[in-house]
């Protein structure tokens, strides 16, 4: 109790913004998320800032693009800006062969609507994509913040049959929206390191090498700025956080403090089971302190990169199996806690759909909304953000309980680690590749960048 109380006090020292309890809404489906984006675009009068890893050139992406340009034509005073990762926007989908980048769609729309100036910024967090990307999240419409770990494409928005399951939260608060807007405008706009992707000529990363280096240093020191206050009787507190790199990362520090503050139970969502070593130690500490731990993770077949054995194998298709190996090793180590009910590993699987949830719930009072996958890449390489929610009056309990029930709807509990497949059970192509990876110790490096 004293141990968890110390970290609870550390969290209480963080500045916060009070938000009225009725100003937050939780959506439960990808289709609802897409519909809400379109509704908010149509209603916005002052500003629309979209920040995502990517806005894809597909049916859903083009529908969002058209909605943005329609809004700009109808209300020319609207300040519309879109921010995506510099590298991701200029390549096709992994494992899908030769494809043009999404930047060509941005340029196409800019040419089609020359009187509508909507800038699409490419944010180069690192010089190479594998070294780190823009994983910041947040869609801003006037004073409404729509927050999700999702990017914008057919699967995340359930444009067709398949969906990629995520979390979706809408918060209505002017101070919170302004804080997000200030960070975006200060760091991403009018910086020579952040070129526009809707223009015909985009500088190569080598041409902005020095600018990108300075940009990276500024990002590492960045934070959300706001005037802190106290929570009223019908309010909860929100602390927006941003982090990049291992050192001085406020988001990472808060994640650890949040986990170690748990007294009774913790509920963790992550799409890819590959926690940093420090988080593995923190979870070990929770189990030793008899805290009930629930981890909701995607089955390997619910991974973005899973390739059914009936289809031609590509190298990227080995990733879901690497994550399953990690999970099996973890479950084997803590089998005793699985058997006594203290550790619940819930595997999400729903037909052909995929799973992308991330976040933490602690003791019915604390919650983290984040785009971070809680893996070594998020911990050290990518630019991530999140929001710590403090609910001392338990005003959000029913909403979060409904969200957890929705998350668990398509899960089953792992009762023994042997229920997970191992190397000898995998398709031959996967087995050969993973054997080579392990022989050359490449899995050690891969764990740090995946």
> Is 412 a residue of the active site?
no
Strands 343-348 and 292-298: parallel
User: What CA–CA distance (Å, rounded) separates 1 from 264?
Assistant: 10
Cα separation, 358 vs 149, whole angstroms: 7
How is residue 80 written in tokens? 């519309």
384 is catalytic: yes
Which of 57, 58, 85, 166 is the catalytic position? 166
User: 194: which residues sit within 8 A by CB, 6+ positions away?
Assistant: 86, 121, 122, 123, 124, 188, 215
3-state secondary structure of 83: strand
- Give one DSSP letter per residue of 300-314, joined into a string: GGGSTT---TTS---
Q: Does residue 166 have an active-site annotation?
A: yes
**Other beta carbons less than 10 A from residue 14's beta carbon:** 16
Separation between Cα atoms, residue 307 and residue 318, nearest integer Å = 9
DSSP string, 99-114: ---THHHHHHHHHH-T
Contacts of 96 (CB under 8 A, 6+ apart): none
Among 103, 169, 187, 356, which one carries the catalytic annotation? 356
Q: State how far the alpha carbon of 133 is from the alpha carbons of 86, 277, 368, in Å.
A: 8, 21, 21
Exactly one of 87, 103, 135, 187 is catalytic; which is it? Answer: 135
What's the CA gap between 392 and 182, in Å, rounded? 28
**Enzyme catalytic residues:** 135, 166, 356, 384
């Amino acid at each position: 109790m004293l141990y968890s109380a110390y970290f609870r006090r550390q969290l209480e020292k963080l500045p916060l913004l009070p938000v009225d309890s009725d100003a937050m809404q939780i959506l439960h489906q990808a289709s609802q998320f897409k519909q809400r984006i379109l509704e908010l675009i149509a209603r916005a009068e002052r500003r629309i800032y979209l920040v995502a890893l990517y806005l894809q050139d597909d049916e859903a992406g083009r529908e969002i693009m058209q909605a943005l340009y329609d809004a700009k034509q109808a209300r020319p005073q609207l300040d519309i800006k879109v921010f995506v990762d510099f590298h991701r926007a200029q390549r096709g989908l992994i494992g899908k062969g030769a494809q043009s980048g999404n930047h060509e769609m941005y340029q196409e729309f800019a040419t089609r609507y020359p009187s509508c100036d909507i800038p699409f910024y490419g944010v180069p967090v690192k010089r190479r994509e594998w070294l780190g990307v823009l994983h910041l999240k947040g869609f801003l419409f006037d004073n409404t913040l729509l927050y999700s770990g999702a990017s914008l494409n057919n699967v995340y928005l359930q444009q067709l049959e398949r969906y990629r399951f995520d979390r979706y939260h809408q918060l209505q608060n002017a101070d919170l929206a302004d804080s997000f807007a200030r960070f975006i405008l200060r760091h991403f706009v009018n910086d020579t390191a952040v070129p526009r992707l809707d223009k015909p000529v985009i500088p190569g990363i080598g041409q902005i090498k020095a600018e990108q280096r300075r940009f990276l240093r500024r990002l590492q020191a960045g934070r959300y700025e706001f005037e802190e206050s106290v929570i009223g009787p019908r309010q909860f507190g929100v602390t927006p956080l941003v982090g990049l790199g291992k050192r001085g990362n406020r988001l990472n520090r808060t994640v650890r403090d949040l986990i170690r503050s748990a007294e009774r139970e913790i509920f963790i969502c992550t799409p890819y089971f590959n926690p940093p070593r420090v988080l593995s130690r923190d979870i070990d500490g929770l189990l030793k302190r008899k805290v009930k731990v629930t981890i909701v993770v995607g089955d390997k077949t619910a991974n973005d990169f899973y390739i059914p054995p009936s289809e031609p194998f590509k190298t990227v298709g080995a990733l879901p199996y690497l994550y399953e190996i990690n999970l099996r090793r973890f479950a084997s180590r803590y089998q005793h806690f699985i058997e006594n009910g203290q550790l619940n590993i819930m595997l999400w699987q729903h037909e052909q759909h995929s799973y992308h949830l991330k976040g933490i719930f602690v003791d019915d009072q604390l919650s983290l909304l984040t785009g971070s996958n809680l893996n070594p890449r998020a911990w050290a390489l990518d630019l991530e953000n999140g929001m710590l929610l403090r609910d001392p009056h338990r005003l959000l309990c029913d909403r979060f309980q409904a969200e957890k029930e929705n998350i668990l709807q398509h899960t089953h509990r792992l009762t023994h680690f042997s229920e997970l497949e191992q190397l000898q059970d995998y398709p031959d192509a996967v087995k050969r590749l993973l054997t080579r990876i392990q022989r050359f110790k490449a899995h050690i490096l891969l764990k740090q960048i995946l």
